[in-house]
Every structure is written in C-alpha cells, then in structure tokens.
Amino acid sequence: MEEGIAEVAATNNRFKSIAKAAPKQRLSVIEAEDLPRTSTEIPEFDRCLGGGLVPGGVVLIGGDPGIGKSTLLLQTLAQMSAKGYRALYVSGEESGSQIALRAKRLGVQAPDLEVLAEIQLEQILHAIDQTKPDIVVIDSIQTIYSDALSSAPGSVSQVKESAAQLTRLAKDTGVSMIIVGHVTKEGSLAGPRVLEHIVDTVLYFEGDTHSSFRLVRAFKNRFGAVNELGVFAMTDKGLKGVANPSALFLSQHDEMVPGSCVMVTQEGTRPLLVEIQALVDAAHAPNPRRIALGLEQHRLAMLLAVLHRHAGVACFDQDVFLNAVGGVKIAEPAADLPVLLAIQSSLKNTALPKTLVAFGEVGLAGEIRPCPRGQERLKEAAKLGFKSAIIPLANRPKTPIPGLEIIAVDRVDRAIAALREFN
C-alpha cells in the first residue's frame, strides 16, 4: 500500500517541484551556465530586467489600473515578434478584437503575434505546449482559474495554483514568461505575496496616472541588480523610453530660489539627479507639521533633531514640508544631507547655487557617513554641468574630477558652515 501511495504522489502533476529532480551533487562539479539574454527591443525595459529576458525566467509586473502595464507588454511582444521570436499574448481581461483595437490605436504592427483570450489554466498550458512560443504574457494572473480547484478566480488558492503551474511550465520548456498582477489601493500586489517568492523578477510600475511619466522599478531579480529604474513617457503611441531621466527630476528655475538642493541618488546601477525641495514656515498650530512626499516621513523628524542638536538650527516652532520633484520615491539614506541643506536654505531664505549637488547619510551623532558608488554619482553630476559638490569625507575621490569642486565634510555643523561660504 505504501508503494502505491508513493507512486500516486510521484505522478501527481499538481504538486511537482518547480525545478526538475536531480541527484545529489557537489557544488564544485556543477557547471555554472551563464544564461543568454533576449532583448525586449525596448532599452529601458531591458534595464529593469537586468539586460533582457532569461529563457525559463518568470517576470511579475504589478501596478495600478491604467498605468500602462498592458500597453508596455503589447509593445514588447510586437517588437520581439517582428524580430522573429514566437510570442503569445494570453488575455483574461480583453477579447481578441479589443487587443487588436489597442494595437491599432498604438500603431503597433505585429502580424505574427498570437493572441489567446482564455482564463482556464489547463487550456492555457495546452496552448503553450502546442505553439511552443519563445515568450508568453499572462494578463492577468487574477483572472486565471484551474479546474482542479473549486474556488473563484482571483482567490488565494487559484492565484497560487496558477502561478506555480505556469512557473513550472516555464522552467520545463525554457519559455520566458511575464505575468501581470493587479495591485491594491495600498500599492501592494493583490492576492498572496507568495507570488513574489515563486517568480524570478518582480517589477512595479510607479508614478501618478495623471502624469505622463511612468517609472518601472525592479524589486527582485535573480538574474540582475535590484532597484533598477526604467523611465518611460506615456504618449499617444504608447510608452517611450526616456534617455536622460535626470532632466525630469530637476526644476527649471530662472533664478536661484531658497529651499532647493539637488542630490545624486543611485537607482540600481544608474545615478540620477533629483531636486529636493523644502519649505520651512512659521507654525500656527501647537503641533508643527512634518510632511514629506517621496521621502521617509520618520526620517525627517530624526534629521530635524540632529540639525538642532549638532548644528544649533532649531525648527521646533516651524512647519517643515519636503518634496522630491517628479514623483520619484527616494528610499536610500543618501538623501539626508541634501534634505538638511534644503531645510537650512529655506529657513534662512537664502538660495543655494544652481550648480551645487550633495549626497550623504547623516547619523544621530551628527556624523556624515559615506554612500556607495560615490565616484559614479560625482561623474554623473559633472557630466550634467554641476560645478560644486558637498559630500561625505570618506567619499572624497583620490583623483580630481575635471570641472567639479569637491567639498568633503564629516559633520553636520561643518556642512552647514560650508553653505555660508557660498553666500
């Protein structure tokens, strides 16, 4: 009886492992294969993916409704099918005629692109097995259901089952698979977070639907760097990659204005210049407001305390508002020093030079800690025409960067003192 149970368990397709079974081996004898990349023919999308699609890799794309997920993927499949790749677009939300209408509106020419309007998992797996495509798009995972389960599409069990079966097929056949996942109003993936663990790459669309710009960020990538950022502009003909995204995140002021400081942030392997704006105004309520858009709210309160304790600049009776221009979200602590400089500039109503950049992490003891990839940040600033940089002492380059004056500081009070030299 035990043998019979073991045989049934071995043949049960639902609960097979994702990877193929293999005997025990020493790590030293396993040959490491560098998997070739397949370009999506969209450079900004390739950047997010770490260089392109990997055969057998599964990509999960999340984002708000209407932000451009289906548009980007339809453009990608059209470009790849024109290059001779076999592509299959599986839609559970639109009919074939609706997809054709969308392609016509975007001006997409894809005569060889195959479209399947289906939500039953078994039918989709059969179609993939029959057509043997190079790339498959599932739009979206919340609409797919399996006959093996009685629950409704979009439920936790259905999403788990569908994602596991599709991932298993991708690993077995070597097909590149892109899965679309809807997000909740909080911005997290609807359904179980287990999807993020199963797939190889997780991409999120960021940005406001009211803006014409879209940001695609990699939160997980087994085959490349995380936090890679792709910048797109939404046009009448779909999404177009932005070659110089730093220009989006810098305001064009005719004259120098107080409360503005440019920082160099690192998004994956790409340095970006972002303008940090601060407004400090007298508080008219017992509890002064601390509001940060695009930056961490709690970190702002900590930085104000450090500014008061170690630089003697008091803001306890002031409302403080922070904003990162362009709708970009900055999570790295390198924004600490530019935030303090912008606050000081607004408080004293003294403008900083337009050609000044800064970056650096600030500690509770008032020290300024180094940031990773400092050389690349400084070279990017010099390339865009900036003349001065206030940076941590440990990030001072060994060789001078042409056209860029380096002001290296190790304490908050010295950074504030360096500002006075510009005025």
Q: What are phi and psi of 181, to 5 degrees?
A: -125, 135
Looking at the 3D structure of the chain, how many domains does it have? Answer: 2
Tell me whether residue 21 is in a domain: no
List, in order, residues 6 or more apart from 409 with CB less than 8 Å away: 360, 368, 390, 391, 392, 393, 415, 418
Report pLDDT for 14: 66
Domain boundary at 243, 268, 295, which?
243
309 and 189 together in one domain: no
Is 93 a member of any domain?
yes
Q: What is the pLDDT of residue 40?
A: 93
* 326: number of Cβ within 10 Å: 21
* Domain's final residue, options 243, 271, 289: 243
DSSP code, position 216? E
Q: What is the DSSP letter of 51?
A: S
In the listed set 243, 258, 274, which residue is the last one of a domain according to the structure?
243
Which pLDDT belongs to residue 80?
94
> Does a structural domain hold residue 110?
yes
Residue 202, amino acid: V
CA-to-CA distance for 264 and 43, rounded, in angstroms?
A: 22
CATH of the domain at 298: 3.30.230.10
Q: What is the DSSP string of 285-342?
A: SSS--EEEESS-HHHHHHHHHHHHHHH----TTEEEEEEEGGG----SGGGHHHHHHH
- The pair of structure tokens assigned to 226 is 């995380």
Query: Does residue 16 lie within any of the structural domains?
Result: no
**205: which strand partners?**
216
H-state helical runs in 174-294: 194-198
Whether 215 and 262 map to the same domain: the answer is no
Task: Report pLDDT for 128.
Answer: 94
Rounded to whole angstroms, what are the CA distances from 165 to 18, 133, 313, 340?
Answer: 8, 17, 59, 50
Amino acid occupying residue 181: G
Classify residue 92: in a domain, yes or no: yes
Interaxial angle between packed helices 412-422 and 336-348, expressed in degrees from 0 to 180 and rounded to the nearest 10 = 50
Domain housing 384: 249-422
Residue 22 located in a structural domain: no
Task: Say if CB 148 and CB 173 are below 8 A apart.
Answer: no
Residues near 252 by Cβ (< 8 Å), separated by ≥ 6? none
| Secondary structure (DSSP) of 330-390 | --SGGGHHHHHHHHHHHHHT-BPPTTEEE--EE-TTSBEE--TTHHHHHHHHHHTT--EEE
CA 222 to CA 294: how far, in whole Å? 27
Helix axes of 297-311 and 412-422: crossing angle, nearest 10 degrees:
80
Residue-level pLDDT at 71 = 93
Using DSSP, how many helices (H) and how many strands (E) does the chain show? 11, 18
pLDDT by residue for the chain (423 residues), tens digit each? 444 434 444 445 666 666 666 688 888 888 877 778 999 999 999 999 989 999 999 999 988 888 889 999 999 999 999 999 999 999 998 998 999 999 999 998 888 899 999 999 999 999 999 999 999 999 989 899 998 888 888 888 888 899 999 999 999 999 999 999 887 655 555 554 668 888 999 998 887 667 788 889 898 999 888 888 899 998 888 899 987 888 778 877 777 789 999 999 988 888 999 999 999 999 988 899 999 999 998 999 999 999 999 999 999 999 999 999 887 889 899 999 999 999 999 999 999 998 999 999 999 999 999 999 999 999 999 998 999 999 999 999 999 999 999 999 999 999 999 988 776
- Looking at residue 249, its pLDDT comes to 82
Within-domain flag for 392: yes
pTM of the model: 0.81
Q: Are residues 253 and 231 in the same domain?
A: no
> How confident is the model at residue 7, as a pLDDT?
42
Give the pLDDT score at 270. Answer: 85
Q: What SS3 state is found at 273? A: strand
| Order of strands, sheet of 290-293, starting from the edge strand that comes earlier in the sequence | 290-293, 318-324, 270-282, 260-267, 356-358, 388-392, 405-409
